[in-house]
Amino acid sequence: MRHESWLPYGGSAKLELALVLLAVAAAVTILGIRLRRPIGLTRPSRPVVTALVATWIVAIPTFLVCFAIYAQQVHKMHPSGLHVGEPILPYTLAAAVVTFVVILIVSPDRSPTGVISAVIGAIAGPMVFELPFDLIVMTRTVPVHPDPALYRLIFFVPLFLIELTTLSFLTLCPNAKVARSTFFTFALMLVVFAGWALADGITFPNSAGARAFNVAAKFLAFGTVLTLFVPQRPRTKALLDPEAALAESHQTSV
């Protein structure tokens, strides 16, 4: 018998999780509503970029080593193994390819910088999903003895470093801008997480229902990244700043 990689939420815990996710989704939606116009991402200084890239490069092999240590200890506890595969991987790869192509098509930059931006968008997509998802399941992973807390740190600390540094690379994309749709799409992803929590407590995606929630949330994560690159239709001045537009109209009439 193979055991699941994490234990689902149950009882009142899954309701509490759903409520927290919905509250965060509501807050994100309000931020989106209050956003007047798309805003560009602030590019960090060269030393910060160097530090981020170095951290990312070091974090990947560190995670692989830590994962091997974690998996070896898990195997001692569960010789039959855990479900540690990725049944959603084909969907993730397909979404990454589509994201890469779409960013290339909509980007006005045909230089290597445009290609790099498309690559960053493609690898950032799954991280938009994984970061909140890992925070949700981190405390629900199967305890690894003799020190469950230590083994959770061994597994998740380098993983979080990879996720955060990968997302930070979006600031290096000159055409990336945060729009209202960015907030709305991310909020919708959190709503899907809330529905998944209520439905079965965020179970491992072996069943059709869990896979559907997982895939829907993953696609919305890639959609969130795409909103950073898809050009926004210009909004009228009245929509951007109604008071200024009214004042200008009054002056014209006088």
Domain ranges, ordered by start, for the chain: 3-253
Give dist(CA 108, CA 46) in Å, integer. Answer: 24
| Measured CA distances, 117 to 17, 99, 107, 227, 251 (Å) | 34, 11, 9, 13, 44
Position 252 scores a pLDDT of 41
Q: How many CB atoms lie within 10 A of CB 35?
A: 15
Residue count of the chain, please give it.
254
Give dist(CA 148, CA 130) in Å, integer. Answer: 21
Position 219 scores a pLDDT of 97
| Measured CA distances, 212 to 4, 83, 130, 169, 196 (Å) | 18, 18, 16, 29, 9
Position 87 scores a pLDDT of 76
Position 243 scores a pLDDT of 53
Position 249 scores a pLDDT of 46
Q: Which stretch of DSSP H or E encloses residue 83? A: strand 82-83
Q: Which stretch of DSSP H or E encloses residue 60? A: helix 46-77
Taking 70 as the pLDDT cut, the residues of the chain under it are 1-4, 79-86, 233-254
Tokens of residue 125, six digits: 């997509």
Contact between 171 and 42 under an 8 Å Cβ cutoff? The reply is yes
Q: Which residue has the tokens 């927290």?
A: 20
